[in-house]
Amino acid sequence: MITTFTFTDVSTLSTSQAVNDLLADEFASWTYNEAKCLVNFYEDLEDQQGEAIELDRVAIRRGWTKATEQEAREMYSIEGDVIEYLDNHGCCIEVEDYLLFLNF
């Protein structure tokens, strides 16, 4: 469960509600599977930290990049294992034919 805040309300969202919220972001181009993987990432992080994480779809859109392995290699001039490199610099999630990784 992910928490979302407004000025007057604090709500807990189910996984599907959080996925739908990411998909509703008109400035993002997440697929359903990408949005679900991102939500799962934040739910796992909540469990590890033992505290609620605010769902901020703008921060998520700005904080993550979607690219192919070759595009990521070129972006960061990576020699060697791209996924290992991205994981060592933040986090990398493999989804379909793309990588989602935290910007650094």
Both structure tokens of 42: 């934040």
Q: Which of the four pLDDT bands, split at 50, 70 and 90, describes residue 7?
A: very low
Confidence of residue 54 (pLDDT cuts 50, 70, 90): confident
**What pLDDT score was predicted for residue 53?**
86
CA dihedral of residues 72, 47, 14, 66 (deg, nearest 10): 0
Please state the domain extents for the chain: 2-102
Confidence of residue 57 (pLDDT cuts 50, 70, 90): very high
pLDDT, one tens digit per residue, over 80-102 is: 999 999 999 999 999 999 999 99
Q: Residue 80: CB partners within 8 Å, gap ≥ 6?
A: none
**How far from 38 is each of 23, 65, 74, 78, 95, CA to CA, in Å?**
11, 11, 23, 24, 10
Residue with more model confidence, 33 or 52: 33
